[in-house]
Structure 1
């Protein structure tokens, strides 16, 4: 990626001038704005180059004064100001949201692992809004982060801000989704494997006719992969695939109950297939409540007349589900990000296997 080394042009230029004595100890180097204009790059690229020179002990920044070649003798006031500045390395994290079904363990493990690696993590949330996502990324960049972990918003189009960072070589790791056609390190659950494991479990329980439920899939790689895995597994086990059911994606953060529109769709779907459907695979835990409520209204005995299962879910979830391995995901994310920061990173797409969770006595 030739664009990933734009910051090296600035780094090499300044380092050469320091080595050759053009900039001597105590000299003030051009401002970030001046370097940005001169090299025709973004402020992020400039900050990356200066950060590398600071880490090598060649530069030091004095807030309100400027950036100088190391060795400048500070007066007492500047020494006191410099000594009071904490040298904290920061990493930014932008998530769509977290809940008891997915994200909390990932959040805690990332924070712990990054701290062990010498970083403090700043966490922000996009709440499914691309505009909010951009706002939070800019906030983190202004905070002086050295790398970004981001779970991109659902949608057909990628956030231009994320694409710009990737092309400029800023350390980025994408989680939960794959950005097709973009060379960027990513860590996500092996979604095909997850759904195939669920289908195999249902087949072992005697299910032979399955339905598939999802929110709108367009532009969401994780859901596309789960759908593909469903049909591949159903074909592998010679199971009959019934019509799909598409429910509305619920953007409500605090209310975990199903919306009436989704419940009515689920009621109509299960009523139409009553006596024909043995099991239904939901791509997300958020869809389960609509089918559970629908089964009560019809009524159909969930777990006996029909098996309902999903990906994700809280620890006490009583239906079969695939739990994403958030601890392993966090470990891989930190490895990829710190490798990029240290200049040894590779563009890897890491798939982490999910774990089948079945309540005792339900098999």
Structure 2
């Protein structure tokens, strides 16, 4: 079940804080990280909580735990990691193939069904799937790719870190023609295969639905779109839908500075700030009758902001978004349901098809489905 409050367990917050310190080199390779007792004092938690946070770091191979001595930052470039050029140990040897997945994060809202689709494809093809999260941190994404290559994977599926940054490791994969497929977005001008939702068409369908309900003053809510192709395409779809209906696009009604839902943002204050932004935005533009959120967690922020203003959903304000953990008719929030299972399965099969073959670069787009919930209705008569 999704946590609608947006809160997270303390052990995850401690894990994220320590991981960020490591990736920023505040703790360098070989440095001792705080002990369970020291973490208890710093964060005001129990030993059980601090122990779980350290174990998560160990599971991600960010630290090495040595009983009686403490926990130390691991060396990502140690001899146990083979160099890229030696990745021939499984290919052509008769061993079962291993495909690595690098994903920012996953939840009931987005990501879990992607993995289910890949898992089914791995069983059908008698392969293994290895999953690693990057949390949207480019440096961790690079290290994760290096680790999986060191493991000897036969191909990679990559959900890139948010924003305009594409890691040097991804570009190396392109240059060396290593089998990999991107999911959710693609590299502009760079020959790399991808599988994603048809975001343009999905955004058009959602916008058309709001038009059918009589909405004309529609705000769009998203993180900063800088070179994030999925967001850019959703914007294109909204603009095209307006053009088809001969309606102007008023981008003053849009808010593209939502940051608290991004996978590399861990500060709880960011959520508070985003809700405040939304409250101020709705006060500044009272003509808004509907908000189109780029993702489900942003829709939850809208619910909180509307509550502070005494606005009822959908009577006073309609809300629509992409994805929801409740993906059935009559669910709370109206949304465009992406075919995550299909994307995951297709991405896995595409990587397998690249094995030993010179495959053409493909960009596969899967349709999304409009799921009508209780958060969108006809415009209230004034």
TM-score (norm 1): 0.74
SS at match of 2:87: helix
Matched residue, 2:192: 184
Match of 1:54 in 2: 93
C-alpha distance in 1 between matches for 2:203 and 2:269? 24
Aligned to 2:103: 95
What is the SS of the residue equivalent to 1:93?
A: strand
| Residue 150 of structure 1 pairs with residue 145 of structure 2 | no
Tell me: CA distance 1:152–1:51, structure 2 relative to 1, closer, same or farther (3 Å): same
Question: Against the structure 1 CA distance between its residues 362 and 218, is the aligned structure 2 distance closer, same or farther, given a 3 Å change threshold?
Answer: closer
Cα distance in 1 for residues equivalent to 2:269 and 2:114: 24
Aligned to 2:258, which of 234, 248, 267? Answer: 248
Q: What is residue 302 of structure 1 aligned with on the other side?
A: 313
- Cα displacement string for residues 94-148 of structure 1 (whole angstroms, at most 9, x for unaligned residues): 0000011111111012012112212110000000101111111111111110000
Residues in 2 aligned to 1:137 and 1:185: alpha-carbon distance in whole angstroms: 17
Quote how far apart the aligned CAs of 1:245 are: 1.1
Secondary structure, counterpart of 1:102 in structure 2 = coil
- Summarize the Cα distance change of 1:361–1:134 in structure 2 as closer, same or farther, 3 Å threshold: closer
Assess if the C-alpha contact under 8 Å between 1:44 and 1:170 holds in 2.
no
SS in 2 for 1:54: coil
Match for residue 7 of structure 2?
none
2:27 paired residue number: none
Match of residue 25 from structure 2? none
Structure 1 window deviating more from structure 2 (151-160 vs 316-325): it is: 316-325
Instruction: Rate the CA distance shift 1:128–1:360 in 2: closer, same or farther, 3 A.
Output: closer
Cα 1:357–1:254 change in 2 (3 A) is: farther
SS in 1 for 2:93: helix
Aligned mates of 2:375, 2:313 — CA distance in 1: 15
1:293, distance to aligned residue in structure 2 (A): 1.1
Using the TM superposition, give the Cα deviation of residue 334 of structure 1 relative to its aligned residue in structure 2, in angstroms: 2.1
Q: Deviations over 1:288-313 (max 9, x none)?
A: 12211111111222212221111122
> Aligned partners of 1:175, 1:45: CA distance in 2, in Å?
25
Query: Are the counterparts in 1 of residues 90 and 97 from structure 2 also a CA contact under 8 Å?
Result: no
User: Which whole-Å CA distance do the structure 1 matches of 2:269 and 2:111 have between them?
Assistant: 19
Structure label with greater radius of gyration = 1
- Structure-2 change in CA distance of 1:361 and 1:101 (3 Å): closer
Unaligned runs of 5+ in 2: 1-81, 378-382
Q: Which residue in 1 is equivalent to 2:234?
A: 226
Q: Is the 8 A contact 1:209 1:240 kept in 2?
A: no
| Number of the residue aligned with 2:274 | 262
Structure-1 residue corresponding to 2:322 = 311
Aligned pair in 2 of structure 1 residues 240, 293: CA closer, same or farther (>3 Å)? Answer: farther
Give the alignment's TM-score, normalised by structure 2: 0.71
Q: Secondary structure at the match of 1:246?
A: coil
Contact 1:320 1:357 in 2 (8 A): yes
Residue 159 (str. 1) matches residue 167 (str. 2): yes
Whole-Å separation in 2 of the counterparts to 1:256 and 1:90: 37
Contact 1:45 1:168 in 2 (8 A): no
Query: Which residue of structure 2 aligns with residue 339 of structure 1?
Result: 353
Distance apart, 1:271 and its partner CA: 1.2
